[in-house]
A and B are shown apart, each in its own frame.
Chain A
């Protein structure tokens, strides 16, 4: 049922709700999800195109604005708007028809730009500043919009478009030289000097404002050796500073589109090796924390000594350690010298001398003779291992005791191990 539900949900999760980003895109490359009838829905968007002039001059500037309203909106409220030279779906960007995009509202030079719409009835308006093609004649530009809403992708197209008549350039038309790139980024707290390659102008001014609706101020540009120049006031924070260029002579008065000037984002960077050390430090600390917690809790549960007692109805002798080397060394007196052993052997014919000095301490418990054997008598003051064991606190059998039969599991060894060791004649 869950899988079936997911299959039904899948179609509504098509397209890319977060947008694909600004780029130069043919209409068909904007995403087939918006045009596929099986995946998309109807759009109620209304598209209105406008320009700052009806006629443009060959290679002259013109601003095209597109307003989209009444559209459905997805939760991300993203709207992607195309400016197109035709609707064929292939090679249909304005650049393909000879137009040049100087910049758009997002600061790029792409025919597709994305923006967010907060109120569908109010809509969104985006604009492009273009340089008209050199070829004179009647040119048409179209607009299309991709958006979402109701869980499906949607698309609307303005198939009428807007006609622009491109005519010859008057000899004395004031205009910005081809190749000029507007300043769009600057450092905060510093004045910005604009160098404006304006030709055929007797007066050049720079108009600026804060935000789209702020009051405008005008700065007169001065003509120098490098051309016209004007100084924009500094910004003390990253505000939306906009400016445009006003050019005029006795016959014409021209203006550019508003250009948004943003504060330079300080490049953030860090030392990757420092991050690697931090990563290792955090990893070590977390491992230590986990292990410490587990060990502390295990001990608070009286593990491991009481683990068997709490989990098995085991005999008390099952908690006596098999390896008593340490206990033996603690409780036993120093081993006698060879002379002492010989003296004792002479006094008691039944005593079989042992070379205690050659006894390896690590294997003392396994190599010592059986404490109950009548054949051996300990030296004076020597306490048998079993006696020593009885004086200490019980512990557990070692699971890796070499005397453990190979076919016994842990449970069998813990329960019957003591008897088995006794039967072997070995001491615990």
Chain B
């Protein structure tokens, strides 16, 4: 019988691999936003492909995250007495939130967000933070399974031998604060419309009336 740890390893590899591709495509697309010669050389198809790769790879990786969380929890055994597992659970929430923010932003703003440098930087920054948290989660898993992780070589790698102890009441309050924050943003903040992929001030490339 295949144990939960094996499934967790498979899920983790799928998540890390696909999300790495997503971030790589995002960074390249952002660079093209800042470099007109590079964007022209790459062409519209390549730029569109990078945008699609970042979105679909992030979507696929994110869809695997719940599976990774569940199998990891099952493989961890007594999670309640292991501070590293507790820290991993908390960071999983941060990881999932960042990736949802990344995907939601791209889907609501549309591919035209890459025409705006500040939006492109924000989107890339979110992706960068998300993949850092993802790698951090993988490193904690490596510490649990093998006693070491590749991020041990970093001098600033945080230690997770201690976990926060918050009562269940305060935890529920924390969850409600987060939920209210999210609902306020979604329903009260003005919604931007989708930005279409258009060419900057290039009237010569306006479309013909009928396609």
B residues near A (Cβ < 8 Å) are 79-81, 83, 86, 89-90, 92-94, 96-98, 100-102, 104-105, 108-109, 112-113, 115-116, 118-119, 122-123, 126, 146-148, 163-168, 170-172, 174-179, 181-182, 184-186, 189-196, 198-203, 206-211
Inter-chain contact B211/A284, CB cutoff 8 Å: no
Q: In the complex, A294→B185 CA distance in Å?
A: 11
Inter-chain contact A407/B211, CB cutoff 8 Å: yes
Q: Which of A159-167, A245-253, A269-277, A346-354 binds B?
A: A269-277
Pairs across A and B, CB under 8 Å, 6 listed? A280-B178, A281-B177, A284-B178, A293-B122, A303-B192, A415-B207
Q: Which residues of B contact A17 (CB under 8 A)?
A: 148
Report the minimal beta-carbon distance from A397 to chain B, rounded to whole angstroms.
Answer: 11
Inter-chain contact A285/B163, CB cutoff 8 Å: no
Report the minimal beta-carbon distance from A246 to chain B, rounded to whole angstroms.
Answer: 39
Q: Which residues of B contact A290 (CB under 8 A)?
A: 97-98, 100-102, 104-105, 126
Inter-chain contact B93/A278, CB cutoff 8 Å: yes
A355 at the interface (CB under 8 A from B): no
Supposing A17-B148, A279-B92 touch, asked if A313 and B201 sit within 8 A by C-beta, the answer is: yes
Inter-chain contact A295/B185, CB cutoff 8 Å: yes
Contact of B119 among A16, A273, A277, A294 (CB under 8 A): A294
Q: Which residues of B contact A283 (CB under 8 A)?
A: 93-94, 96-97, 100, 178
Inter-chain contact B93/A271, CB cutoff 8 Å: no
Q: Which residues of A contact B81 (CB under 8 A)?
A: 267-269
Inter-chain contact A270/B86, CB cutoff 8 Å: yes
Q: In the complex, A416→B207 CA distance in Å?
A: 10
Inter-chain contact A284/B179, CB cutoff 8 Å: yes
The 4 closest A-B pairs by CB, nearest first: A290-B101, A286-B97, A284-B178, A304-B193
Q: In the complex, A257→B170 CA distance in Å?
A: 51
Contact of A286 among B94, B194, B198, B209 (CB under 8 A): B94
Contact of B179 among A281, A294, A303 (CB under 8 A): A281
Inter-chain contact A273/B168, CB cutoff 8 Å: yes
A residues near B (Cβ < 8 Å) are 16-19, 267-301, 303-304, 307-308, 310-313, 396, 399, 407-412, 414-416
Inter-chain contact A295/B190, CB cutoff 8 Å: yes
Q: Which residues of A contact B80 (CB under 8 A)?
A: 269-272
Q: Which residues of B contact A396 (CB under 8 A)?
A: 193
B81's closest neighbor in chain A, by CB?
Answer: A269
* Majority DSSP secondary structure for residues of A touching B: helix
Supposing A288-B185, A396-B193, A408-B211 touch, asked if A274 and B166 sit within 8 A by C-beta, the answer is: yes
Report the minimal beta-carbon distance from B7 to chain A, rounded to whole angstroms.
Answer: 20
Contact of A279 among B90, B104, B109 (CB under 8 A): B90
Supposing A308-B198, A311-B200, A313-B203 touch, asked if A274 and B167 sit within 8 A by C-beta, the answer is: yes
Q: In the complex, A414→B206 CA distance in Å?
A: 11
Report the minimal beta-carbon distance from A288 to chain B, rounded to whole angstroms.
Answer: 4
Supposing A18-B148, A311-B199, A408-B211 touch, asked if A288 and B119 sit within 8 A by C-beta, the answer is: no
Q: In the complex, A407→B211 CA distance in Å?
A: 7
Inter-chain contact B182/A284, CB cutoff 8 Å: yes
Report the minimal beta-carbon distance from B138 to chain A, rounded to whole angstroms.
Answer: 17
Report the minimal beta-carbon distance from A387 to chain B, rounded to whole angstroms.
Answer: 26
Q: Which residues of B contact A292 (CB under 8 A)?
A: 185, 189
A280's closest neighbor in chain B, by CB?
Answer: B175
Q: Which residues of A contact B201 (CB under 8 A)?
A: 311-313
Supposing A278-B171, A283-B93, A284-B181 touch, asked if A294 and B109 sit within 8 A by C-beta, the answer is: yes
A293's closest neighbor in chain B, by CB?
Answer: B122
Contact of A297 among B104, B118, B203, B206 (CB under 8 A): B118
Report the minimal beta-carbon distance from B134 to chain A, rounded to whole angstroms.
Answer: 13
Inter-chain contact B122/A297, CB cutoff 8 Å: yes
Inter-chain contact A281/B119, CB cutoff 8 Å: no
Q: In the complex, A409→B113 CA distance in Å?
A: 18
Supposing A283-B96, A311-B199 touch, asked if A271 and B177 sit within 8 A by C-beta, the answer is: no
Contact of A287 among B104, B119, B146, B172 (CB under 8 A): B104
Report the minimal beta-carbon distance from A19 to chain B, rounded to whole angstroms.
Answer: 8
Inter-chain contact A307/B178, CB cutoff 8 Å: no
Supposing A17-B148, A298-B192, A313-B201 touch, asked if A409 and B96 sit within 8 A by C-beta, the answer is: no
Q: In the complex, A2→B177 CA distance in Å?
A: 47
Supposing A273-B168, A291-B185, A299-B192 touch, asked if A285 and B177 sit within 8 A by C-beta, the answer is: yes
Report the minimal beta-carbon distance from A265 to chain B, rounded to whole angstroms.
Answer: 11
Inter-chain contact A282/B90, CB cutoff 8 Å: yes
Q: Which residues of A contact B163 (CB under 8 A)?
A: 270, 275
Inter-chain contact B165/A280, CB cutoff 8 Å: no
Report the minimal beta-carbon distance from A137 to chain B, rounded to whole angstroms.
Answer: 42
Q: Which residues of B contact A277 (CB under 8 A)?
A: 168, 171-172, 174-175
Q: In the complex, A140→B61 CA distance in Å?
A: 58
